Structure 1
Amino acid sequence: MKEATHDKLDATDLRMLRLLQDEGRIANARLAERLNLSETPVWRRLRRLEEEGYVRGYQAVLDQRKLGYGVTAFVLITFAMHTGEQPYKFEEAIQGIPEILSCHNITGEADYLLQVVARDLEDYGDFVARVLRKLPGVTAIRSTLSMREVKAAGKLPVG
């Protein structure tokens, strides 16, 4: 399936995407008002943007500290073998692990970069031993702990 490209979007689409990033729960009527359009065309545009994959979903932004996750770790994962089924099995396995917030296949000395949350250092150490060391193909794990979050916008520079 060919990816949709940014140049298929007009100025109204881009403005709509910016508004949705700022206010994911915005009502269709309010969105139409902010775009100076009637509700039906806004609804059609929004459905098209969702169907074409520009909008992948909607979610609330939660405060990890208030929910008891005091540790954020960035984890470099290294494989001994980069061929065969192991990378696929690894990628499949991490999908079901909620403590892993993101996973990137990267270049350089390591193969993957994970962002992991834990309640505290002891909880993180247990997670490494109980989960990360048992993932398929993993031969080395290097962790860097975040001292504090400086920026976490989570918004793309649209338009």
Structure 2
Amino acid sequence: MDAKDVQIIRVLQENGRLSNQELSEKVNLSPSPCLRRLRLLEKQGVIKGYTALVDQKAYGLPLTVFIQVRLERHNTEAVRTFEQRVKMIPEIMDCYITTGGSDYLLRVVCQDLDAYEFFVRETLHNVPGIASIDTSFAYSVVKQGHVFPEISETQ
């Protein structure tokens, strides 16, 4: 990827609905080379897809919960089972493998505290191999980014 590819990506992260004509104007390329670069970025998997950014509260899921999970065992089967189950649970928006006191950090969205309690009791507790669950509730969003920072070249 060169600087022009990075520019194309940043412009699309700001507004993924731009036409190729609009995109090419914003990155100072003619439409054909711009489209070629875009298709190559898609083919290489740098651009994975396009989606709508939806207001979580307006959608009806105002509660954001961060859950730190520690597993009982760390063998291949326990990890594989946990990760496969997590991928099937729609309330879990993100799952990160972490260092420190927990093994995973989950970002979960729910309607309210009752829905979260139901989620923990009926869904999360049924995932085998969990040793502990530590919950933090987000009560406000200060920043939620969707555009990557510029890449600086280190010396």
TM-score, normalised on structure 1? Answer: 0.90
**Alignment partner of 1:129: what SS?**
helix
Measured after TM superposition, the shift of residue 33 of structure 1 is 1.7
Which of 49, 52, 58 does residue 66 from structure 1 map onto? 58
Q: Which runs of 5+ in 2 are unaligned?
A: none
The 8 Å contact of residues 17 and 158 in structure 1, kept in 2 or not, is answered as no
- Distance, in Å, in 2 between the alignment partners of 1:70 and 1:17 is 29
Counterpart for residue 127 of structure 2: 135
Counterpart for residue 47 of structure 1: 39
- Distance, in Å, in 1 between the alignment partners of 2:74 and 2:146 is 30
Q: Which runs of 5+ in 1 are unaligned?
A: 1-8
**Alignment partner of 2:57: what SS?**
coil
CA offsets 1:103-146 (integer angstroms, 9 cap, x no match): 00101111100000100001001000111111121121110001
Measured after TM superposition, the shift of residue 11 of structure 1 is 1.8
**Alignment partner of 2:60: what SS?**
coil
**Alignment partner of 2:18: what SS?**
coil
Following superposition, which runs of at least 4 residues in structure 1 exceed 4 angstroms of deviation?
none
Counterpart AA for 1:133: H
- Distance, in Å, in 1 between the alignment partners of 2:135 and 2:124 is 11
Q: CA RMSD in A?
A: 1.1
Counterpart for residue 126 of structure 1: 118
Aligned ranges for residues 10-159 of structure 1 at < 5 Å? 10-159=2-151
TM-score, normalised on structure 2? Answer: 0.93
- Distance, in Å, in 1 between the alignment partners of 2:66 and 2:128 is 19
Percent identity over paired residues: 39
Q: Which moved more, 1:51-60 or 1:116-125?
A: 51-60
Measured after TM superposition, the shift of residue 84 of structure 1 is 2.9
Measured after TM superposition, the shift of residue 37 of structure 1 is 1.8
